Structure 1
Amino acid sequence: MRTISDTIRRLNKQQSVLSNGSANNRGRLSPLADFGSNPGQLRGWTYLSDKLPPDAPLVVVLHGCTQSADDYDVGSGWSLLAERYGFGVLFPEQQRTNNPNLCFNWFSTSDTTRGEGEVCSISQMVETLLKNHRIDRTRVYVTGLSAGGAMTASLLATYPELFNSGAIIAGIAHGTASTIPQAFDRMRGHGLEDGAALAAHVRQASSHKGPWPKVSVWHGTADTTVDPINMEAVIGQWGILHELDRPASKSTLDGHQVRKWQNADGQTVLEAYAINGMAHGTPINSRGENAVGSARPFMLDVGTSSTWHIAQSWGLIGKSTETAPALNPTAGLYSVSPDKQSGNSIKNTIENALKSAGLLR
């Protein structure tokens, strides 16, 4: 049984992390200014190391609702991974004037149409970095959670020539909703179209005829915010675009089901990770091998790092630099049990610890 002094010490340590974020992450991102007309009125943040090699890859990372760019970076560890392995990261960020809950407006046609709104703003950010920095145009990737995952799907649809690959985490297929009521229906898994109709939405989103970006899909099997059936809709949408006629190969990753589809050339162009028992959020691993990031609301420590595995599948994990920081500087401070992932918070942790110590009823 913990002593009161030990409990207070741990609470002070956790409160310090809550107030300051990861000491290695907070303030790591730099603002991106003058990136175009910005019709979506978004903000942009970057992590571009001084040691960025020539022709470096770029990863675009989209946060979920209620999150900020910095918040998602602390949880996912993308900038720390970028510093260690030599690639750049771009974090578009929503503003409350656009959406009170800081969700990207994936359900708004004016924000998911090529040349308009938020997708246009993000494409302008990418083009600015391609112009002004040592970025390899053929190695630009995009990933996002929830509303950011849905916006990832829309970016892959509206600007497919811009992205090599994308990873959609707890997201929704492009073109499924154009109103808020429709958005809630799709999140519940209602009214989803078949693969052919979903693929048509992507074909109509630009004049691009292929080849199409490779797609990775991640979803918790216990997600009650975005029904896991949406994973199958995304698979159906991109499976038809890639003209897949081979059955998926099945394997496991840390006990979770993985399906991969290959095209006629034997390349894996579509993959799906179903994380057993995980609620709504991004799967991370803050301990042991391949640990990166730290758990916090909607950043769920389930022992599997989507950040690491996504980066690895994109060929970003190579030789690390000698001066690279630890990838999980707050490991253990935000531990989240699988059955309480979606509602856990530091406030609850503090209150529970005080109750255990007899200091709060």
Structure 2
Amino acid sequence: MTAVARLASLATLVVALAALTFAPPGHAATGTAGDHDATHTDANGAVSYQVHVPPQQATGRPLPVVVALHGCTMTGSALNSMKDLTALNALADREGFLVVYPSQSILRNALLCWNALDPAHQHRATGEPALLAGMTQDVLRDYDGDRSRVHVLGASSGAGTAVILGVTYPDVFATATSMAGGEYAVDQADPENPDAVTPQDTAEKALAEMGPRARAVPLLVGQGDADTTVDPLLADRLVSQFATIDTRAGTPVDDVADRVEQVDPPGKQSYTHSSYAARDGGRPLIEKYLVHGMGHAWPGPGTGPFADGQGPDLTRIFWDFARDRRLP
């Protein structure tokens, strides 16, 4: 991202702060297609969010829910938003799912990052995981969402928190998607000395956090190999961590890909797609997309300073990965 784009991104902070800090309480009006704003408040604080309701809500059948977590200097649905970055709403209207865009508060992080690197926000029933899980329960209640098909995806710091939600609430989120993020307890990892704390070490911490709820949570990983903000090594560590989690939870998975596909679209950035299935077969539990030549960005047709239109459509890839997956 250019220096001009970085300045433009930081400038959105000033505009967004008042809305994020003083958002009105209460729940959104339900039942009508479009965008609805609300705030969830509990003992862990407050989080403002927007729900996009597709036309399929009128059918009366429970719809899947997608929780989309923005990165630093971004918002959920205001300026420099996760909504614009991912272009999820257009896909939701075609496919029929609810999208939830929470916004971080300046009161919790001055750069509007989700606090994935803070151990205080890595546990169930406390901090941001509890706040976001509570918000999700509000949406499921208010919009009669399908509780078996709730998916979380995130970009950058939001990717870290998406992984944390997959670990802390595996009984709520059917899948997790990380774009330019890292493993659970990634704050303990050192990319310059990866053997000091291995992905297997952090997997043990994740399993301890999952406790009796431990299961193989399907994971989609995206990463640019020219990212200088998030070391691409962290994508490999994330795959290894979840392969260990899956194996220890009773579904053996290797962190060596079963299938590797090199894709070179005309006029676009090439990428490598790796799939990791359980040893006894079946559809992949882990998939990774490494976009060649891409920096710290979201690949696809979205807009904003962190969008890279030359990459594969990660939003479409996410939904193809998550669409038919449910909680066990």
TM-score where L is the length of structure 1: 0.71
CA distance in 2, matches of 1:232, 1:150: 14
Query: 1:176 offset after TM fit, Å?
Result: 2.4
Cα distance in 2 for residues equivalent to 1:173 and 1:191: 16
The equivalent residue for 1:81 is: 91
Distance 1:91 1:191 in 2: 36
1:49 to 47, 54, 77: 54
What SS does the corresponding residue of 2:317 show, helix, strand or coil? helix
Match of 2:75 among 43, 68, 81: 68
Gaps of 5+ in 1: 1-17, 19-27, 287-292, 317-361
Tell me the amino acid that sits aligned with residue 111 of structure 1. H
Partner of 2:319: 311
Q: Give me the whole-angstrom Cα distance separating, in 2, the residues matched to 1:275 and 1:149.
A: 16
Q: Report the 3-state secondary structure (helix = DSSP H, G, I; strand = E; otherwise coil) of the residue aligned with 2:186.
A: coil
Counterpart CA distance in 1 for 2:173 and 2:305 is 29
Partner of residue 271, structure 2: 256
- Structure 2 counterpart of 1:30, from 18, 29, 36: 36
Identity of aligned residues (%): 25
Report Cα offsets for 1:250-286 as digits up to 9, x if no partner. Answer: 11344311110111242210011100000001111x3
Query: Contact 2:122–2:168 at 8 Å: present in 1 too?
Result: yes
Local SS of the residue matching 2:42: coil
Gap regions ≥5 residues in structure 2: 1-11, 13-33, 248-252
Cα deviation for residue 92 of structure 1 reads 1.5
Instruction: Report deviation, 1:227.
Output: 0.5
Contact 1:160–1:208, Cα closer than 8 Å, also in 2 = no
Alignment of 1:81-230 (within 5 A): 81-177=91-187, 186=190, 189-192=191-194, 193-230=197-234
Distance in 2 (CA, whole Å) between partners of 1:165 and 1:191 is: 30
In 1, Cα distance between equivalents of 2:45 and 2:206: 20
CA contact (8 A) 1:40 1:111 kept: no
The CA deviation at 1:87 is 0.4
SS of 2:132's equivalent in the other structure is: helix
Deviation at 1:131, TM superposition (A): 2.0
Partner of 1:266: 282
Structure 2 distance, partners of 1:262, 1:47, is 33
CA deviation after TM superposition for structure 1 residue 315, in Å: 2.3
| SS class of match (1:198) | helix
Residue type of the partner of 1:282?
W
Which shifted more, 84-93 or 51-60?
51-60
Distance 1:246 1:65, change over 3 A: closer
Q: Deviations over 1:201-260 (max 9, x none)?
A: 211213234332100100000000010000011011101112214841111344311110
The one-letter code sitting in structure 2 at the alignment partner of 1:283 is P
| Root-mean-square deviation over aligned CA pairs | 2.0
Q: Within 1, Cα distance between the matches of 2:215 and 2:209?
A: 15
Amino acid at match of 1:143: L
Give structure 1 regions of 4+ aligned residues with deviation exceeding 3 angstroms. Answer: none
Whole-Å Cα distance in 2 between the matches of residues 213 and 40 of structure 1? 27
Distance 2:53 2:283 in 1: 30
- Secondary structure of the residue aligned to 1:69 is coil
Q: 1:303 to 1:173 in 2, by over 3 A?
A: closer
Q: Distance in 2 between matches of 1:40 and 1:155?
A: 17
SS at match of 2:171: helix
Q: Separation in 1 of the partners of 2:142 and 2:36?
A: 15
Q: How far apart are the structure 1 equivalents of 2:245 and 2:35?
A: 35
Q: How far apart in 2 are the matches of 1:38 and 1:84?
A: 37
TM-score by length of structure 2 reads 0.78
Q: Which structure has the bigger radius of gyration?
A: 1
TM-superposed CA distance for 1:36, in Å, is 4.5
Between the aligned partners of 1:97 and 1:209, the Cα distance in structure 2 is: 32
Q: Which residue of structure 1 lines up, in the alignment, with residue 28 of structure 2? A: none
Work out the number of aligned pairs and report it: 273
- How many Å separate the matches in 1 of 2:240 and 2:158? 20
The alignment partner of 2:201 has SS state of helix
Letter in structure 2 aligned against 1:201: K
1:121 & 1:64 partners in 2: Cα distance? 17
In the alignment, the residues of structure 2 paired with residue 122 and residue 198 of structure 1 have an alpha-carbon distance, to the nearest angstrom, of 22
Counterpart of 1:7 in structure 2 is none
